[in-house]
Amino acid sequence: MLREALKVILDVQELDIQMIRLMRLKWEREGELARIRSLRDDLHHQVIAKESEVIDLKKQIRLAEVDVSELNTKIQKLESQQNAVKKVEEFNALTHEIAAAEREKAAKEQRLSDLYDRQAAEEELLKNLKETFEATKTNSELLEQEIISSIVAINQEGSQLKEQRDQMQGDADPEILVIYEKLIKNKKDRVVVPIENRCCSGCHILVTAQHENVVRKGDKMVFCEHCSRIHYWQDHLVEVSEDKTTRRRRRSTAKA
């Protein structure tokens, strides 16, 4: 009978709803895991980028230091040349040349001093970044472990539910089951619902009196015109459960 068939589907539905909730929870937790990992990877990339910046700065500093020392040598050479010359014009020319080299050296030294400042600042940043990265790594490892074990628990619960459902499915009317499964796959929500106060309790839209009567009769499947859910009459299921209880009671009395 339809009532009994729907009762089985309703039991399957409760398991499916639990499963849907569980899957949502799992997606959420997997999302958290992905966020934690990407945050950590992001920090790691920042550390690597900063490290190569510092290395690059050190190279620039070394080059600038070489430039300054070459200019020093040049100036010394020019000065000793100047000491050796006899002619005023040559002496003056060398004075000019020395002054130019001194200016160049001053500019290089200024640049070098800026580079030293930048190096100090970047090294400080790198140190902070590394500390943040290490702290995040430690924290995220704990959090990750926690999330992973909760996912394991979700999976276990899920396979228990699936086992229960597989067993229950055997009692279901195959034709109704196919329709039901198609519906719940689309809606990810209850799709076999009662009519309450003349409304579909799935989409909450008013049904016609005629529609309600057909459902009330309970001898054929009725779908909501608005949301396609399968409708049932609440009292029918109470009757089905009572029937089962009475039968069980009768059986146990008979045994005794």
CB under 5 A: which stretch of 7-15, 51-59, 227-235, 240-248 binds Zn ion? 227-235
Q: Please, what is the angle between helix 234-255 and helix 2-84, to 10°?
A: 110
Give the up-direction half-sphere exposure of residue 228: CA atoms within 13 A in the CB hemisphere: 10
CA–CA distance, 126 with 139 (Å, rounded to integer): 20
CB closer to Zn ion, 194 vs 202? 202
Q: Which is nearer to Zn ion, 57 or 200 (CB)?
A: 200
Cα within 13 Å of Cα(159), Cβ side = 5
Q: For Zn ion, which stretch binds (CB under 5 A), given 14-22, 101-109, 144-152, 218-226?
A: 218-226
Query: Min. distance of Cβ 246 from Zn ion in angstroms?
Result: 33
Would you count residue 230 as binding Zn ion (CB under 5 A)? no
203 sits near Zn ion (criterion: CB under 5 A): yes
Element (H or E) spanning 88, and its range?
A: helix 88-169
200 is a site residue for Zn ion (CB under 5 A): yes
Q: Residue 193: in which H helix or E strand, if any?
A: strand 192-196
Determine which residue in the list 21, 226, 244, 250 makes contact with Zn ion, applying CB under 5 A: 226
According to the binding rule CB under 5 A, does residue 202 interact with Zn ion? Answer: yes
Number of residues in contact with Zn ion under rule CB under 5 A: 7
Q: Is 227 in the site for Zn ion (CB under 5 A)?
A: yes
Residues 6+ apart with CB under 8 A from 172: 5, 8, 9, 12
List the beta bridge partners of residue 193.
231
Which residues make up the interface to Zn ion (CB under 5 A)?
200, 202-203, 224, 226-227, 229
